[in-house]
Structure 1
């Protein structure tokens, strides 16, 4: 009888061990980036002197590295096995600096860390990024933000625009949502660049 009980205990222990995922799988969720492959062709000459890009600010619930999705209205959920490599606001900031610098829209594109007095400030807030499911197999990623161009010397807002971009996800999972997010980012950056250029040409 003792031998039988011992054998049963060993069998249960082995089954329990097989049911547990490997430690590495639990400790290392997949990480994804927001980035661009192409940058705009530079303008013939700059339209501004020093353009300061403020660190974008997120809408409530989106200032983290979680990849958000929504199945029901007003309810934010997060993928447990996938994360952003950094917060979307920080990744957007890096992309914007590179894009606007490549565009030649200003003589200098800078950040608050440089302590250079700017001629203009580009401010982005209310940023949200999430994959929204319309059914179990269909989803899209939505990127929303508000963009303002400010003249700090005149202490006035030159213009403000709400950006709301949707891109279909190629698959109903985190990877599909990320691909759609990068497509949405590319579209949003074009809108931001066009918005800024239009204001600078008419001021």
Structure 2
């Protein structure tokens, strides 16, 4: 009798256990090779304002598009933090490493800075064809450089980049998006270096 009860208990408990697929978290942390020769602007400091982006980039859900109109979320892949926050932090770090300015401040800093850099992420996504066997990474980012005291727009720039992913899955998309973002950040340093201030 005890054996029968034990067998029933094992059966019931084993029937209740469900194995769910694990979710893989991905970081946005591109490699950035800064140009060796660049104009310095040590007399000015700069502050990166909060990033303008759509709502989907403010969460950890990893979105992808199919065709022209459809958009979905990966179920087993996510961002380790919101893309807008990770990109903002990386931008501040890259500007600080570039030594272009006397000081570089994030939007949470109490310091205002002489210049303000506005960043708008218009597109940051992996896009699949209708068959789902091919995908591209797409980045569309705009910048405005503003003089803090006068509010005058000093310069503006838009960067749009597309790259075919090595694999048509989330990992392939993350790799390509990191490469493209690294290129955009490198181009941003060059642009800021040549902008009139």
Which sits farther off after the overlay, 97-106 or 122-131?
Answer: 122-131
Aligned residues: 189
Contact 1:56–1:127 (8 Å) recurs in 2: no
1:151 aligns with 2:134: no
Compared CA separation, residues 130 and 38, structure 1 to 2 (3 A): closer
1:175 aligns with 2:137: no
Which sits farther off after the overlay, 159-168 or 143-152?
Answer: 159-168
CA drift at 1:38: 4.0
1:112 aligns with 2:110: no
Compared CA separation, residues 148 and 45, structure 1 to 2 (3 A): closer
What is the DSSP-based 3-state SS (H/G/I as helix, E as strand, rest coil) of the residue aligned with 1:112? Answer: coil
What is the DSSP-based 3-state SS (H/G/I as helix, E as strand, rest coil) of the residue aligned with 1:146? Answer: strand
1:132 aligns with 2:127: yes
TM superposition outliers: structure 1 runs of 4+ over 6 Å: 12-18
What is the DSSP-based 3-state SS (H/G/I as helix, E as strand, rest coil) of the residue aligned with 1:37? Answer: coil
Identify the match of residue 31 of structure 1 among 25, 41, 44.
25
1:46 aligns with 2:40: yes
CA drift at 1:42: 6.1
Q: Which has the larger share of strand?
A: 2
Structure-1 residue corresponding to 2:4: none
Q: Which has the larger share of helix?
A: 1
User: Please, which runs of 5 or more residues in structure 1 have no aligned partner?
Assistant: 1-8
Tell me the distance in 1 between the aligned counterparts of 2:14 and 2:97.
58
CA drift at 1:113: 2.6
What is the DSSP-based 3-state SS (H/G/I as helix, E as strand, rest coil) of the residue aligned with 2:161? Answer: strand
In the superposition, the TM-score normalised over structure 2's length comes to 0.83
In the superposition, the TM-score normalised over structure 1's length comes to 0.81
